[in-house]
Amino acid sequence: MRYVSTRGRAPILDFEGVLLAGLASDGGLYVPQRWPSLTREELLSFRGRDYPDVAHAIISRFTGDTIEPSALRSIVSSAYADFGHAAVAPLAQLGSNHWLLELFHGPTLAFKDVALQVLGRLYDHFLELHDTRTTIVGATSGDTGSAAIEAIKGRERASIFILHPAGRVSEVQRRQMTTVETGNVHNIAVDGTFDDCQAMLKAMFNDAEFRDELRLSGVNSINWARIVPQVVYYVTSALALGGPDVAVSFSVPSGNFGDVFAGFVAQRMGLPVDRLVVASNENDILTRALTTGDHRLTDVTPTLSPSMDIQVSSNFERLLFEMHDRDAEYTAGLMRQLAEHRGFRIGDDAAATVQSLFHAGRCTETETIETIAAVHRDTGMVIDPHTAVGVAVAKRQRGARETPMITLATAHPAKFPDAVERAIGARPALPDRLADLHEREERCTTLPNDLPAVMEHIRSHAPASTA
């Protein structure tokens, strides 16, 4: 399996290469040269198998011969061994033919653990194989940071630096990052927005000297290896509801477009999918782009679902590349327009290639609260504000009632107790393993929204052996 950049000017790499590179050297994102396929018989053979088994079968399609089957098998098994639910990603029924896919049973209570627990172990495997080290730098709107830190903490061959927008992540999210006490974990609070953090991250990766000096690697969902483990739960949940004999729909609370892109990959591989519903909060660039063709940046508005407070959805570039028949020159041109003019128009022909699959909708702050309250009233279940955005939009973009609708529950409600309390008048409790989170000591450095200052901090705190 080989990978190409969406901008066409970076080396073609294998899976290990894209894992360690993160962003492609031409600023583009890596995608498989050809989509692997899952036949109907293979999909049927996954029915009833354990989650790690299916995960191994799917992930191995993307890793090719870069990792032996036995090594991959043990990575996948140990990645999910400590999840709080034996099924890893169980389904719960929300209403008639509407289901919640619970993706928050990992160590940091958000769906990002599903991919990052695998990723941390893959890093270890490849770095040890080549007796080398890496410096992982990531930007987070809240959940990536803690999930990445949890996956990398204590690993000998990697240090991790996580940038988060100061004051714009929830207290639980911040404490999950800043209270991890191992020497290889570094938190940086940036005086700016998530988009500022992400822009600095991209600039660091585009600085070849800095990148090579520190052996930089990225864990944001621009890293192709993040997308792959997310394909798995689309497959397992569809099979549980009758797939591949029936097509199912998914509603995905979306920010950086990584999670819903994994659904697109599952569909490309052969999973029958009726609709992929892209659910936005008030930061609705994805909904505007998909419904009107106008992809245009505005300012970021802080919302109750902060992990989706994003304007520049990096992974959308992967879909643009597909929509334009994998024309890298054209994709690079669109991204130049975005950088220079804060937007671009998607042509009707290109949009038509994905419009029957992708549907999109926006959920306001009021609706988010109302949805948490309504779900609690009707079912007794407590959902988090990101999941609520998915549920609200799913109800409007449902399509045929006989098609199962699966809304991805991307975070545990205890991660966002303030929003939940506003909706139902009670604060959800943290699971036992995090019960003392508010007593733990925090470690974090605040820096201005200034690239040279951040780079200098990273350079001076990365272990000397990487330099």
Ligand X SMILES: *Cc1c(COP(=O)(O)O)cnc(C)c1O
Residues that bind ligand X (CB under 6 A): 110, 112, 143, 221, 253-259, 307-308, 386, 410-411
- Do 363 and 371 contact (CB within 8 A), yes or no? yes
Chain center to CA of 448: 26
In whole angstroms, the minimum distance from the beta carbon of 90 to ligand X comes to 17
In whole angstroms, how far apart are CA 84 and each of 92, 221, 306, 413, 440? Answer: 15, 24, 24, 15, 22
Contact 148, 122 (CB under 8 A): no
In the complex, minimum distance from the CB of residue 387 to ligand X, in angstroms, rounded to a whole number? 8
Catalytic residue flag (residue 202)? no
The answer to whether the Cα torsion of 382, 388, 390, 393 is positive or negative is positive
Min CB(431)–ligand X separation in Å: 16
CB 22, CB 217: distance < 8 Å: yes
Three-point CA angle 437, 443, 447, nearest 5°: 130
C-alpha neighbours within 13 Å on the C-beta side of residue 273: 29
Q: How far apart are the first and last CA of the chain?
A: 31
Catalytic position from the list 112, 202, 395, 415: 112
173 and 142 Cβ atoms separated by less than 8 Å: yes
Alpha carbon of 88 to those of 57, 112, 142, 466: distances in Å? 16, 13, 22, 36
Least separation in angstroms between CB 374 and ligand X? 19
| In contact, 361 and 289? CB cutoff 8 Å | no
Q: How far is the CB of 118 from ligand X (least distance, A)?
A: 15
The smaller minimum CB distance to ligand X, of residues 99 and 316, is found at 316
* Residues identified as active-site: 112
